[in-house]
Amino acid sequence: MTPTEISPGLVVNTALPALKLGNFKLIAFDMDSTLINIECVDEIADAAGRKAEVAAITEATMRGEIADFKESLRRRVALLKGVTVASMDDVYHQRLKLNPGAAELVHACKEAGMKVLLVSGGFTFFADRVRDELGIDYIRANVLDIDGGQLTGKLVDQPWGDICDGEEKRKTLLETCSKLGISPQQAIAVGDGANDLPMMGVAGLSVAYHAKPKVREQAMVAINTGGLDRLLELMA
């Protein structure tokens, strides 16, 4: 199917059945540049005077030009060594905002009886707060190692593994579906970067939000202008 612009900035790339929120049981969101307006690692790097260096790695990774997300993240986190928890608090309070329509879409999904999963290659320092703000049910993200109120430049291993990359996002979506006793076809996956493609590939509905070109092309639906709640325009 040729991509069809349903309305300005809302593109459908594949033939879709009539969509109803009630037909889905789970929605999985990426966090950075999807649910929220920033790439947290880039903003933390600003406090270390290394934003340009880190942001260049982030951009190349999200575009799919750096295939190894784990190595990319380790490189970026190493450059954050010495940044204080106070500086990260400043990022949260002064720079981080929910993207337009995020709260509205999450609310609509919860009203329809869906569960909400936040699965992020970013950090629990921010993801935990976003979870609490939006009432998200499940979360998976990376843990920054902190010692003496400062970042050590390393990540903390967790029971499920070391780093939440694209494969871990896919695995988490599938595990959450299994826990809920549902098919992945009853899940929606929303993201913007190349590391979101694995989970988007197993979901019943994949949504690119203001995404990199590779992701826009591969998603079933692309929201290129406006807020996340534009997804509701496709729901009967």
Domain residue ranges of the chain, discontinuous segments joined by +: 4-36+98-234
**What span, in angstroms and rounded, lies between the C-alpha atoms of 235 and 86?**
42
Tens digits of per-residue pLDDT, 63-119? Answer: 999 999 999 999 999 999 999 999 999 999 999 999 999 999 999 999 999 999 999
Q: How confident is the model at residue 2 (pLDDT cuts 50, 70, 90)?
A: confident
Tens digits of per-residue pLDDT, 187-199? Answer: 999 999 999 999 9
**What span, in angstroms and rounded, lies between the C-alpha atoms of 74 and 145?**
12
**Per-residue pLDDT at 17:** 87
Which DSSP symbol is given to 18? Answer: P
* Residue 32 annotated in active site: yes
Query: Residue 27 pLDDT > 90, yes or no?
Result: yes
Burial 82-116 (b: 16+ CB within 10 A, else e): ebeeebbebbbeeebebbebbbbbbebbbeeebbb
Architecture (CATH level 2) of domain 4-36+98-234:
3-Layer(aba) Sandwich (3.40)
Q: What angle do CA 191, 195, 201 make, to 5 degrees?
A: 70
Q: Residue 174's Cα: distance from chain center in Å?
A: 16
Q: How confident is the model at residue 1 (pLDDT cuts 50, 70, 90)?
A: low
pTM, full prediction = 0.96
Strands (DSSP E) contained in 52-137 are 115-123
* Residue 132 annotated in active site: no
CB under 8 Å to 204, separation ≥6 — which residues? 24, 183, 184, 185, 186, 187, 188
Q: In whole angstroms, how far apart are CA 202 and each of 79, 110, 180?
A: 33, 22, 16
**Per-residue pLDDT at 236:** 73
